[in-house]
Amino acid sequence: MGFKADVSAIPLLLLLAFSIQAQSTVFDVTKYGANEDITEALSLAWKEACASTNPTKILIPKGTYLLGRVTLKGECKAPIELQVEGTLKAPIDPSSLGDSWVTFAYIDRLTLSGGGTFDGQGQVAWSMNNCGKNKNCMQLPISLRFNFITNGIVQGVTSLNSKNFHINVMGCKNLTFQHLTVTAPGDSRNTDGIHIGSSSEINIVDTNIGTGDDCVSIGFGSKQIKVTGVTCGPGHGISVGSLGKYPDEAPVSGIFVRNCTITGSDNGVRIKTWPALFGGIASDMHFEDIIMNNVRNPIIIDQTYCPWNQCNLQAPSRVRITNVSFKNIRGTSATPEAVHISCSSGIPCEIVELCDIDLAYNGTDGPAKSLCTNVKPILTGKLNPLGC
């Protein structure tokens, strides 16, 4: 299935770019009039650095700074790095930020590094998230947006207590996230760790994610996405979807999740599509070498996904799911139903493989079991629970 490459290897182009950036001109935001609030200083430093024809580095030194809404935009004339060593704090009131806090857009050869922290200060905002009941709910800001970035790397930083998604990736190509820490309490609503949409060649490597929603979520139009060495929990697991909510969604393909550990989450590895609404295709998705520790739904395909019970469950999902494998997934399930593959009655899943599954349930409701509907899975290797 083409998943033998070392996904932790940074592409050669990035290595060349980073070796050049080692000799970068440094722009220190404290030289631009920065004090407690660095919003204007960062914008000025970025403008000057982006215009340089030589590789540049913008430095935010150690310390704690306030940062308002900012858009760091290309097209820059040379490789550019933002090295965040300090802690950046978002405004507590979400109304001052709109739909995003920090946005990187239209940049080729971007690096975000430094070991610093983006503190979204989301505690107040979480109580405002009532979108499940109110269609006109307040739009809460995403902490870090990456829009149309090519050939980039984000490494070693922390995203803390985002008001909404921690990281949103849209329209990007050849972008690697590695050695990140993404954290918010398990009861923080809609705080997805890393959400990917309409992007290709995205790598998430050796990263720790614990949130109140999906650790990683992969939306429509995503291709060649590799997730490896991720520890997830609390949260809702590593998910493809939800799909089929909007018309004309681009296909999802080439999803590879490997060597991850998921602990105490609501789901493990999951594919989810809405019933009744719109069509789409999700194919070539592979989950391998995963450890589950007390996960409620370790392996799940859910084509009746309807989080707020506002769907027509009588009409089947129109999303076609094909060529999916779950291999060498082991550990413990917090519920007796360790494997749940619920496919569309209108378009049953095709080519779904279960291989070497060993998931134990130690509760009082009997041994672990599997439930499958509208699918005839391919069963190989050791299977506990027995395949359905």
| C-beta atoms surrounding 388 within 10 Å | 17
Which residue, 388, 325, 327, is CA-closest to 358?
327
> CA 219, 222, 225, 230: dihedral to nearest 10 degrees?
-10
Q: Judge contact between 194 and 230, C-beta under 8 A.
A: no
CA distance 134 to 138: 9
Match 């392996």 to its residue by tokens. 299
Q: Judge contact between 242 and 214, C-beta under 8 A.
A: no
Long-range contacts for 14-20 (Cβ within 8 Å, ≥24 apart)?
A: 14/109, 14/151, 14/152, 14/153, 14/174, 14/176, 17/55, 17/79, 17/109, 17/111, 17/151, 18/111, 18/153, 20/55, 20/79
Residue type present at position 249: E
Whole-Å CA distances, 387 to 90, 262, 310, 324, 359:
48, 22, 32, 15, 12
Q: Judge contact between 52 and 77, C-beta under 8 A.
A: yes
Long-range contacts for 40-43 (Cβ within 8 Å, ≥24 apart)?
A: 42/67, 42/70, 42/72, 43/70, 43/72
Do you find a cis peptide bond into 96, omega within 30 degrees of 0? Answer: no
Query: Could you give the residue numbers annotated as active site?
Result: 236
DSSP 281-315: EEEEEEEEEEEEEEESEEEEEETT--TTS-S-TTS
Q: Which token pair is 256? A: 């590879």
Please tell me the chain's helix, strand, coil percentages from 3-state DSSP, rounded to the nearest 5.
10, 50, 45
